[in-house]
Each structure stands twice: as C-alpha cells, then as structure tokens.
C-alpha cells in the first residue's frame, strides 16, 4: 500500500489504533495530542477504519482522514504471537512493521500484544545486521538519574553474546535519548565479585570487559533502583520477572492503602492524605512519562506500550519514537554492533 | 566438645553470637528474649566467650554462663564462604553445625555470613538423603496469606530436579509452619501458559505436574506479592535477584520520603504523617516477624538471618527454629523426598 508522499520530510509515525486495553480511544487521543505537540511529525493511525472513525465521531475528536491506514484484521491481546502474525497478515501490527520496512513509515508504536509486536518486528521488519536477538528495555524508576534494564522479555535463554548485544544497544539508547555521554553498564548477578553468577553471566562477564563500553562489572538486584548504573543487562527471563514483580509493588501499595482506608473514618482521612502525598513523591516514577519500552535490534523505530496505556503514555511513546528517529538511532546501533564484531 | 546433658528434653537452640552487623549485642539480646518467651527451649550462644561476657557486662544483661559455647574463630560477613569454612574450623558457624550433627544441639540460627552458613550446613551437617541441593526460602509480604519463594540463592544454575526438590521442601515448610493444609505451588516463569519459560522451567514443569503437590502451573513476577500461591519455586539466581530487588523497594520509598521532607516545612509535616501511616499499613510486612529464612535440605534445623537483624528478629528466628524442631520438619522432609523418589 502507499501513503501520501513525504515531501516535507516530516517523521512519519504510526500508532496501532487497535492495540491496548482501552483501544482505540486512548490510542486516538494520544495520537491527536502528539500531533499537536510537534510540527516535525506526521502521526498515522493503523486499524479498522470504521472503528477508528466511529470512535472519533462518538468522542467529538478530529483526525485527518488520509492519515488513517486501514487494517482489516486485529490481533487480540491474548493471542499466541507467532501464530497470530502468521495468520493475520492484514493486522495493524504486521502492517505497521511492513510499512516501516518499505520506507512508507519511520516509526511504529503499539500498546497491543507485546509478543506479536516483537515477533512481527523481528520477522517482518528484520534484524539489524550483527544483532542476534532484539531486546526490549525497561526504563526503571531510580533515586538518581536513569536506569534501564535490558532484556525484559524479548527472549529467554539469552546466550552470553546476546547479553553483550543488549549492553551495546542499551548504551547507545541511553546515551542518545537521555544525553548520558558514557553510560555505566552493569551485569545483573548475585554478587559483585567476578566469580558470582550463573553459567551465562560468568561467560558474559569477560566478553563485556572486552568491549569499549563503560562496563563496571556485576551488579545486584538492589542496584536496579539505586541508580548506580545506567544500563543493567540480564537474560530476558530474569528481566521479565523483575519487570512484572516491580509493577506489582505499586499495585500492592495501592491495595494496602485501600484496605486500610476501609477500616474506619480516621483511617479513611489518613489514607486520603497519604495518597496525595505518595502521588507527589512518586511523580518522577510515572511510567507514562516514558510511555513505552523500546524494541532495539530491529531495522526500524519500534516502541511497545503497556496494555493499559493512557493517552498521555501514548503521546509520550510517539514523541519518544520521533526522538529515536531524529537521532538516527537505528544507524548508530548498526555501526556500533559492526564495530564490536570487528 | 560436650554440652550439659539434655535430660529434660528441651529443644537446644544455638545462636551465632558473632554473626550480624550488630553482633554480638543484638544476638545476645534476642537470645535472652527468646529464652524468656518459652520454657521448652534452651538457648545457647556460640562465639568468642570473652567478647560475649564483656558485652553482657557492659549492657547489664544476664545469660547463664554454662550456655555460652566458646568458638575461637570468627567468620567475617564478607569472607569467601568456602575458604572461610575450610580454614576456620573453630568458627561459630562451623561449630554450630557440627554440634547439631553430633546431636549436641537441635537447631542453629545465624545472622552472619550467609554463604558460609550454607556451605557449612551443607558440608559439616550434611544433606538430607534425596536432596541434591539445599534451598533457602524467603517469606514474601503478600496481600493475603503467605507466599514463600524458594530458592533465593542457595545455588545458581538449579537443575529441573532441584526445582522439584524446592517445591517438595517448600510445601512441607509452609504446611507445617503456617498450617496451610495443601499449599498451592507455582513455578516462576514469564507467562502462565505451559509453553512459556526458559529451558529449565520448561523441563521442570512436567516433573512438578507428576508430583502429588498442589501444583498450579506457571506463575509470573506479579504473583509473588498477590498471594495467589503459597510456594513459588525458581532457580537461585532469579530468586536472589528478586529478593534483593524487593528489599531495595522499601529503601527507595524511605529515601524518597526523606528527600521529600527536606523540601520545606509543609513537606516535612506531610512526610511525618506518611511515615507513621505507612508504618501502620506495612506492619504485616515486617521482616522481623519471621526473623530469618529457613535453610531446607540439610540434616538439621538451620535459620539464616539478615545481617541487620534486630533483637526482635533474632528472637523470632529462635522461636521459629523451635517450631521447626517441634514439628519434626527434617524427618518430614526426608520422608517426602523419599516418597517422591519412589
């Protein structure tokens, strides 16, 4: 399919209108907000055009009709990824990635089925030369500065060489996006000494030392939140469990405050106060600020959002995608992977 | 060495007086408190007797002199475990385990060097027949009921068969200690479907299904805190990282409240309020209640405490050790491992 010609060289970013627990409304709202926020981008919505148009109408929203890209099929949040992308070639997810591949789009963001997004980006868009395994990085809250965790689930059973790739790609991401010149990199393990770790980390450690990265050695679970390093690398199994565990901490805290509030009037008042103060204290930790997590190692800018993404999160995902495109991140990753393989 | 004869059949529990960041004071205080709390136990202190006696004197504390077991050497918190237990045969840790082995003691608790405690318990005390790898379990805070996580670091690169052992031993522990008749067991993975996981979990899953445990299948990172299962099993690498990450969440929260309080008078007031309310809300999550983590799979009751253990934590470790002894946990674990191996 062909999109309007991109004569003005704006960055063309597509949003998966069908992906997310509150799709398409949050996705549409986020797209509209992002479009108003920057003159340098052209935002597109991919999905069932009748559903998108109805949603716009029902909510009294305006979005340029020629920026709606029709995709006949929808991959549900709980579908088996590999099967879904094989059988639903006309889904918003597969189409988004194909349009980047044929250079009709510059970036694609989706809060839909994470596995399908990863699988389609890897297969339909393709891997950057030198990248054995693409990786998803999570931006973790931290006391100071920025800590990112790679990989948080793009692949399990990561080999030592993959962990090195995560470190290279994660370093470039942090350097370019957060303007940290020499990001500190740590290898997640069970102790700081070189001898501590499992088979994979013990084999990965000397490989990481050989790179020209700012590698500090092993770090521990406690270093994820204390901001001592900027990039923490681990296998996707461990990273995914940490990510989900970390998310659940806030849920637990919320639920505890709620049940506390139910135990009488005084508690209710205290809970109200604590809620507003906690919100203030934790505002720097709002996942919506970063919107989503980057998928690195594929030949195009891809960002994956949380299923429950709000319009604000969607907007920030789109603006982050623009930043990644603008800074030529994919090319820089390719060069860096090449440099290391020499 | 020989201890006074145990004619009255009280449970003889030794405390490593030299182990812990605040040793020997917190350890001595905990021992005294535990001794006052139960008539069924005989508490002993193991360590450098002059240091113990000085500490008692300086703090105006009383402890029966014939319950102080002299150990000439001390294993420091940061010593390399295997080397330490090999070279310091007269350390409190090695001696404690040896005294259980020769039936002079019934249980041993230490807040000292965790690795040395594990290594000595495994080598000097010995493994229960049928146990390939002893395991440390952590009692996690949860919204409802009790969730325990095995293994949190006794060994990395756990094999599928070891994970099954963790499940068997963890189930008995939870059943006996927390009176949960059929503890629900989950395998920590990256998705609930049987197909999700890494090589080790995918191989462990069918083995767990074959047992007569109340096994529910894969669980995810978010299930650690929501109380959906009672025993979660994983390899020691993942478990250790989760444990340290989890501990750091509370540190982060505290630090955030502190820096918030520093931003003016109103903030200071709000922070005071939030601190007291949070304390109330989180009181069920006080690690001191459980004191320490059990080391299961060795031929004796061993509990390992946090380095920063308070007297209250030490006391509860000792009482928990009594409970484990009283319920004949070691024998029950042995029988259960045997049953499964048939």
Lowest mean pLDDT among A199-208, A253-262, B32-41, B108-117: A253-262
3-state SS class at B154: coil
CATH of the domain at A125: 3.40.718.10
What are the CA-CA distances from residue A219 to residues A57, A138, A174, A197, B102 (Å)? 52, 17, 18, 10, 40
Selection from B214, B237, B209, B232 nearest residue B222 by Cα: B232
Lowest mean pLDDT among A125-134, B141-150, B209-218, B236-245: B141-150
Partner residue facing A225 (CB), from B188, B248, B270: B248
Q: How sure is the predictor about B78, in pLDDT bands with cuts at 50, 70 and 90? A: confident
Residue B44 sits in which domain range?
A: 1-131+297-326
- Are B323 and B169 spatial neighbours (Cβ–Cβ below 8 Å)? no
Selection from A203, A237, A223, A94 nearest residue A148 by Cα: A223
| CB-CB neighbors (< 8 A) of A226 in chain B | 248, 251-252
Which of A228, A281, A285, A308 has the highest number of chain B CBs within 10 A, making it the mutation to test binding with B?
A281
- Mean pLDDT score across all residues of chain B: 92
Selection from B196, B222, B152 nearest residue A115 by Cα: B196
The model's pTM is 0.92
* A236 contacts B188? CB cut-off 8 A: no
Partner residue facing B224 (CB), from A243, A245, A255: A245
* B157 contacts A237? CB cut-off 8 A: no
How many angstroms separate the CA atoms of B125 and B224, rounded?
31
- Residue B35 covered by a domain: yes
Going edge to edge, which strands form the sheet with A184-188?
Answer: A68-70, A41-47, A11-16, A107-110, A301-305, A292-296, A135-140, A147-150, A231-233, A184-188, A214-219
- Residue A181 covered by a domain: no
> Nearest residue on chain B to A270, judged by CA atoms?
B277
Percent of chain B with pLDDT over 90: 74
Task: Report the alpha-carbon angle A55-A294-A151, nearest 5.
Answer: 130
> Nearest residue on chain B to A238, judged by CA atoms?
B238
pLDDT tens-digit map of B233-289: 999 999 999 999 988 888 888 888 888 888 888 888 888 888 888 888 887 777 677
Query: Over the range B115-133, which residues count as b (16 or more CB within 10 Å of their CB) and which as e?
Result: bbbbbbbbebbbbbebbeb
- Residue B317 covered by a domain: yes
Query: What are the backbone angles phi and psi of residue B247, rounded to the nearest 5°?
Result: -60, -35
In this structure, are A267 and A341 located in the same domain? no
Which of A194, A200, A222, A269 has the highest number of chain B CBs within 10 A, making it the mutation to test binding with B?
A222
pLDDT tens-digit map of A283-299: 777 667 777 899 999 99
- Residue A265 covered by a domain: yes
- Residue A114 covered by a domain: yes
How many angstroms separate the CA atoms of B84 and B98, rounded?
15
How many angstroms separate the CA atoms of B282 and B285, rounded?
5
Question: Averaged over B110-132, what is the pLDDT?
Answer: 94
Partner residue facing B241 (CB), from A157, A242, A274: A242
pLDDT value at residue A5 = 56
* A282 contacts B143? CB cut-off 8 A: no
- Residue A186 covered by a domain: no
How many angstroms separate the CA atoms of B30 and A334, rounded?
59
Number of domains in chain A: 2
How many angstroms separate the CA atoms of A20 and A27, rounded?
8
- Are B147 and B227 spatial neighbours (Cβ–Cβ below 8 Å)? yes
Partner residue facing B248 (CB), from A226, A252, A282: A226
> Nearest residue on chain B to A157, judged by CA atoms?
B198
Q: How far is A280 from chain B (nearest CA, A)?
A: 9
| CB-CB neighbors (< 8 A) of B240 in chain A | 190, 221
Long-range contact set of residues A4-7: C-beta below 8 Å, sequence gap at least 24 = A4/A66, A6/A42
pLDDT value at residue B275 = 85
Query: What are the backbone angles phi and psi of residue A46, rounded to the nearest 5°?
Result: -110, 130
* A270 contacts B248? CB cut-off 8 A: no
Question: Averaged over B32-58, what is the pLDDT?
Answer: 97
- Are A150 and A314 spatial neighbours (Cβ–Cβ below 8 Å)? no
Q: How sure is the predictor about B319, in pLDDT bands with cuts at 50, 70 and 90? A: very high
Question: Averaged over B56-73, what is the pLDDT?
Answer: 97
Task: Determine the distance from the C-alpha atom of residue A276 to the mean position of all C-alpha atoms in its chain, rounded to a whole number.
Answer: 28
- Residue A316 covered by a domain: yes
pLDDT value at residue B138 = 93
- Residue B13 covered by a domain: yes
pLDDT value at residue A8 = 65
> Nearest residue on chain A to B271, judged by CA atoms?
A277
Q: How far is B204 from chain A (nearest CA, A)?
A: 15
In this structure, are A58 and A100 located in the same domain? yes
* B190 contacts A156? CB cut-off 8 A: yes
Which of A221, A275, A308 has the highest number of chain B CBs within 10 A, making it the mutation to test binding with B?
A221
> Nearest residue on chain B to A142, judged by CA atoms?
B252
Partner residue facing A241 (CB), from B141, B221, B226: B221
pLDDT value at residue A269 = 87
User: What is the ipTM for the molecules in this complex?
Assistant: 0.90
Q: How sure is the predictor about B5, in pLDDT bands with cuts at 50, 70 and 90? A: low
* B153 contacts A190? CB cut-off 8 A: yes
Q: How far is A6 from chain B (nearest CA, A)?
A: 41
> Nearest residue on chain A to B284, judged by CA atoms?
A256
pLDDT value at residue B166 = 97
Per-block average pLDDT, block size 10, for chain A (342 residues)?
63 97 96 96 98 97 96 93 94 97 96 94 95 93 86 89 97 96 96 92 96 96 93 96 90 85 88 84 74 93 93 96 96 92 60
Question: Number of residue pairs across A and B with CB atoms under 8 Å?
Answer: 144
């Amino acid at each position: 399919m062909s999109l309007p010609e991109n004569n003005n060289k704006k960055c063309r970013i597509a949003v998966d209108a069908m992906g997310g627990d509150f799709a398409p409304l949050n996705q549409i709202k986020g797209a509209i907000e992002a479009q108003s926020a920057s003159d340098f981008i052209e935002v597109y919505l991919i999905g069932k055009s009748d559903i998108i148009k109805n949603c716009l109408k029902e909510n009294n929203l305006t979005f340029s009709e020629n920026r709606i890209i029709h995709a006949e099929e929808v991959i549900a949040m709980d579908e088996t990824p590999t099967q879904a992308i094989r059988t639903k070639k006309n889904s918003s997810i597969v189409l988004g990635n194909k349009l980047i591949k044929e250079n009709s789009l510059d970036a694609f963001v989706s809060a839909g089925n994470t596995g399908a997004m990863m699988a389609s980006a890897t297969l339909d868009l393709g891997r950057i030369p030198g990248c054995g395994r693409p990786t998803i990085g999570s931006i973790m809250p931290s006391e100071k500065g920025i800590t990112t965790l790679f990989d948080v689930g793009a692949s399990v059973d990561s080999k030592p060489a993959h962990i090195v790739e995560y470190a290279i790609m994660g370093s470039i991401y942090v350097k370019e996006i957060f303007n940290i010149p020499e990001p500190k990199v740590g290898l997640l393990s069970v102790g700081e000494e070189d001898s501590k770790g499992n088979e994979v980390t013990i084999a990965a450690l000397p490989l990481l030392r050989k790179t020209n990265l700012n590698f500090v050695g092993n770090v521990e679970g406690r270093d994820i939140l204390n901001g001592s390093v900027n990039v923490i690398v681990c296998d996707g199994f461990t990273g995914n469990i940490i990510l989900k565990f970390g998310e659940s901490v806030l849920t637990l805290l919320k639920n505890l405050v709620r049940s506390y509030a139910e135990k009488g009037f005084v508690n209710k008042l205290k809970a109200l106060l604590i809620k507003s103060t906690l919100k203030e204290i934790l505002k720097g930790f709002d996942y919506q600020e970063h919107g989503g997590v980057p998928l690195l190692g594929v030949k195009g800018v891809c960002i994956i959002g949380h299923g429950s993404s709000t319009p604000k999160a969607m907007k920030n995902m789109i603006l982050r995608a623009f930043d990644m495109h603008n800074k030529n991140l994919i090319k820089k990753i390719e060069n860096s992977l090449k440099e290391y393989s020499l």
